[in-house]
Chains A and B, each alone.
Chain A
Amino acid sequence: MTITASRPTATEKRKTAAPAPRRTFGKWPLTLLLGLVSLLTVSPFLVMLVVALSPAGSPTVPAQWPSELTFDNLVRTLSASGFLGWTMNSLIYALVSVVIILITASMAGYAFAKKRFPGRDALLWAFLATMMVPFQATLIPTFVLVSDLGGIDTYWGLIVPTLASSQAVFLMRQFIKDLPDELFDAARVDGASEWLVYWRIVVPLTKPILATLGVFVFLWHWNDFLWPLVAAQGDAMRTLTVGLTTLRGEEVPLAVLMASATISVLPCLLVFALLQRYLVNSIAMTGLK
Chain B
Amino acid sequence: MTGLLFVLPMLVLFVIFRFVPTLGAAGMSLTDYKVSGEWSFVGVDNYARLLDDPLFLASLRTTLLYVAVYVPLTMLVSLGTALMLNAAIYAKGLFRGMLFLPYVTSFVLAGVIWRWIYEFDGLLNGLLAKVDLGPVGFLEQSSLVLPALAVVSVWKGFGYSMLILLAGLKSIPGSYLEAARVDGANAWQRFRRITLPLLRPALFFVLIIETIGAFQTFDTIYVMTGGGPARASYTLIYGLYEQGFKFFDFGYAATLGMVLFAVVLVVSLIQRRLLDRGTS
By a beta-carbon cutoff of 8 Å, the part of chain A in contact with chain B is: 2, 4, 7-11, 13-14, 17-24, 27, 30-31, 33-35, 37-39, 41-42, 44-45, 47-48, 51, 61-63, 103-105, 107-108, 110-112, 115-118, 120, 123, 126-127, 130, 132-134, 136-145, 148, 160-161, 163-164, 166, 169, 194, 198, 219, 222-226, 229-230, 241-242, 244-245, 254, 257-258, 261, 264-265, 268-269, 271-272, 275-276, 279, 283, 286-289
Contacts and interface: CB of A to CB of B under 8 A. Distances in A.
Contacts of B127: 62
Given A132-B264, A133-B18, A219-B104, A9 B28 contact: no
Contacts of B247: none
Interface of B: 1-7, 9-11, 13-14, 16-22, 24-25, 27-28, 33, 37, 81, 84-85, 87-91, 94-95, 97-102, 104-114, 116-117, 122-123, 126-127, 130, 155, 160, 163-164, 167-168, 170-171, 173-175, 177-178, 181, 198, 201-202, 205, 209, 212, 215-216, 218-219, 222-223, 237, 240-241, 244-245, 250, 253-254, 257-258, 260-261, 264-265, 268
A39 to B, nearest CB: 7
Contacts of B102: 41-42, 44-45
Contacts of B105: 223, 265, 268
B113 A141 contact: no
A118 to B, nearest CB: 8
B6 A7 contact: no
Nearest to B261: A137
* 8 smallest beta-carbon distances between A and B, as pairs: A20-B174, A62-B126, A115-B3, A141-B24, A223-B106, A117-B3, A111-B6, A138-B21
- Specify the main secondary structure of chain B where it touches its partner: helix
B60 to A, nearest CB: 15
Contacts of A9: 164, 167-168, 171, 201-202, 205
Contact of B160 (A2, A33, A62, A127): A2
A14 B173 CA distance: 8
